[in-house]
């Protein structure tokens, strides 16, 4: 492949924009769409090169589907292609989530809207449990992985240890296990090459690496400096305009840390977001956190986009606090909320672009080694326990909203059980389950009002 890729840039842009609006179904569904379109139908890239890029993205913290889109865009059309692919993967979801967040914050207390979310909350419990089941099925292959998962669950749910500490300990144990018993800490072969024989791709297995994808120290330093400036400049602006203790400045630092801890997908970092946004900073309530996850499940794009809702709610609640409720429907609250969503999104996704644009040339010339896969395997096993603790937290707030002293909400339990069966036994899509539970909640609300 020469430097002037034969894939028209405008045609690639149209595909990335389309992908941003249709990428439902979580990372598995998003990766499947890219594979079907780019490998099977359009033949822009070969199977092996697609999987090679995917394996690298799965080793990184951050949303692997968005990073894969960035990587493929970069491989086809240099840095401009990577930035365009990554931004278009996120931008539609951000705009849709801002609109839904505004509707929720402004009208969430309306009986009909509250009824819909009453039905959605049990579905969220089932969705989180399904995530633990799915990741555990790929990772917990022996008693050591099970022990890591149980230990991580107890560390977070019982001891309430910090999420980064749990990941750090898991990584160290994985590194030691990889040297001691490497067979026990070998990752599962989740992505195997397809047996289907395809026609030659424009970027095929034997296509030479283009000049822009070859490793150069000068380019690496340039990307790292650019990434540092893109972090420092908005952070300095926030500090200068709002001060270091303002919610926007605090959220910039918080979501940067969250972005570096998202090993294992968005569900893995949600406990950390909950610890910080709900317990430490008090930006939003536990109920709002659960509702925000439901909104994130219903929009295209990576699930980690739930941070946009968290930022929106943080800005909204902060503006109301400062204004003492005087501008409930005014522009001040909406502006602060949108700023919060944009700040959260910027500082969450910036590291992903840096990882791809800086590390892509190395990936094109190297392969993964056990020194990296063993710690990541241990981290993923610990993530199963972390996600289970999140499911326990959600269940507590949904099934016992008034505390354990009051009787449980048996209707919510029944909805969660049906949602779990639909997801894990009958393989119903997440969107369909959320829609059905929202409709059930709305119907229950109407019946309660005697409509």
Highest mean pLDDT among 156-160, 173-177, 300-304, 383-387: 173-177
pTM for the model: 0.79
Q: Is 12's pLDDT higher than 90?
A: yes
Give the torsion sign (CA, 343, 345, 347, 353). negative
> pLDDT over 90 for what percent of the chain?
43
The pLDDT value recorded for residue 420 is 93
Give the pLDDT of residue 28. Answer: 65
- Residue 370: the pLDDT is 55
The arithmetic mean of pLDDT across residues 222-247, rounded, is 96
Q: HEC string of 33-99?
A: HHHHHHHHHCCCECHHHHHHHHHHHHHCCCCHHHHHHHHHHHHHHHHHHHHHHHHHHHHHHHHHHHH
Give residues with Cβ within 8 angstroms of 109, minimum separation 6. none
Average pLDDT over every residue of 155-170? 84
Least confident of 1-5, 263-267, 372-376: 1-5
Q: What is the mean pLDDT of residues 415-439?
A: 91
What mean pLDDT comes out for the span 380-405? Answer: 84
* Residue 177: HSE in the Cβ half-sphere, 13 Å Cα cutoff: 26
26 pLDDT band, cuts 50/70/90, is low
Residue 3 above 50 pLDDT?
no
Higher pLDDT, 348 or 4: 348
Tell me what the pLDDT averaged over the chain comes to: 85
Domain assignments of the chain as residue spans, ordered by start: 9-194+209-448
- Residue among 113, 117, 160 at smallest CA distance from 398: 117
Q: Decide if pLDDT at 2 tops 50.
A: no
pLDDT for 22: 80
pLDDT, one tens digit per residue, over 189-207 is 444 444 455 567 788 877 8
Is it the case that residue 180 has pLDDT exceeding 50?
A: yes
pLDDT for 66? 92
Q: Select, from the ranges 57-71, 89-103, 159-173, the one with the highest average predicted confidence (pLDDT).
A: 89-103
Inform me whether the pLDDT recorded for 247 exceeds 90. Answer: yes
Q: Give pLDDT, residue 264.
A: 62
User: Residue 68 pLDDT more than 80?
Assistant: yes
pLDDT confidence of 429, banded at 50, 70, 90?
Answer: confident
Only one residue has tokens 């009002």, namely 449
Name residue 203's beta-bridge partners: 45
User: How much is the average pLDDT of 224-239?
Assistant: 97
Judge whether residue 131 has pLDDT over 60.
yes
pLDDT at 434: 85
Share of the chain above pLDDT 70, in %: 89
Q: How confident is the model at residue 11 (pLDDT cuts 50, 70, 90)?
A: very high
Average pLDDT over residues 99-123: 88
């Amino acid at each position: 492949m020469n430097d002037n890729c034969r894939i028209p840039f405008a045609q690639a842009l149209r595909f990335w924009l389309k992908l941003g609006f249709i990428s439902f179904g979580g990372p598995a569904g998003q990766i499947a769409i890219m594979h079907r379109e780019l490998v099977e139908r359009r033949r822009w890239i070969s199977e092996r090169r697609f999987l090679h890029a995917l394996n690298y993205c799965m080793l990184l913290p951050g949303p692997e589907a968005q990073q894969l889109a960035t990587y493929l865009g970069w491989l086809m059309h240099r840095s401009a292609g990577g930035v365009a692919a990554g931004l278009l993967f996120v931008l539609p979801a951000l705009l849709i989530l801002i609109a839904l967040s505004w509707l929720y914050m402004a009208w969430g207390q309306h009986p009909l809207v509250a009824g819909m979310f009453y039905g959605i909350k049990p579905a969220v419990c089932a969705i989180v449990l399904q995530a633990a089941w799915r990741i555990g099925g790929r990772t917990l292959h022996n008693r050591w992985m099970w022990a890591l998962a149980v230990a991580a669950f107890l560390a977070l749910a019982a001891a309430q240890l910090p999420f980064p500490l749990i990941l750090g300990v898991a990584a160290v144990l994985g590194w030691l296990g990889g040297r001691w018993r490497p067979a026990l800490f070998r990752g599962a072969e989740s992505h195997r090459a397809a047996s289907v024989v395809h026609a030659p791709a424009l970027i095929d297995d034997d296509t030479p690496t283009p000049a822009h994808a070859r490793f150069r120290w000068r380019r690496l330093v340039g990307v790292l400096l650019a990434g540092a400036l893109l972090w420092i400049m908005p952070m300095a602006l926030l500090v200068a305009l709002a001060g270091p203790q303002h919610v926007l400045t605090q959220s910039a630092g918080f979501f940067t840390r969250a972005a570096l801890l998202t090993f294992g997908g968005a569900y893995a970092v949600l406990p950390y977001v909950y610890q910080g946004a709900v317990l430490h900073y008090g930006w939003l309530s536990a109920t709002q956190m659960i509702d925000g996850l439901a909104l994130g499940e219903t929009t295209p794009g990576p699930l980690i986009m739930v941070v946009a809702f968290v930022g929106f709610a943080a800005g909204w609640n902060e503006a109301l606090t400062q204004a003492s409720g005087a501008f409930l429907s005014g522009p001040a609250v909406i502006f602060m909320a949108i700023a919060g969503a944009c700040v959260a999104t910027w500082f969450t996704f910036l590291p992903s672009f840096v990882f791809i644009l800086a590390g892509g040339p190395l990936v094109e010339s190297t392969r993964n080694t056990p020194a990296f896969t063993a710690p990541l395997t241990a981290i993923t096993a610990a993530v199963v326990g972390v996600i289970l603790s999140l499911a326990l937290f959600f269940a507590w707030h949904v099934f016992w909203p008034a505390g354990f002293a009051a009787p449980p909400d048996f209707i919510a339990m029944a909805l969660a059980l049906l949602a779990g069966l639909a997801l894990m036994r009958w393989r119903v899509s997440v969107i369909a389950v959320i829609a059905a539970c929202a409709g059930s909640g709305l119907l229950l609300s109407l019946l309660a009002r005697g409509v």
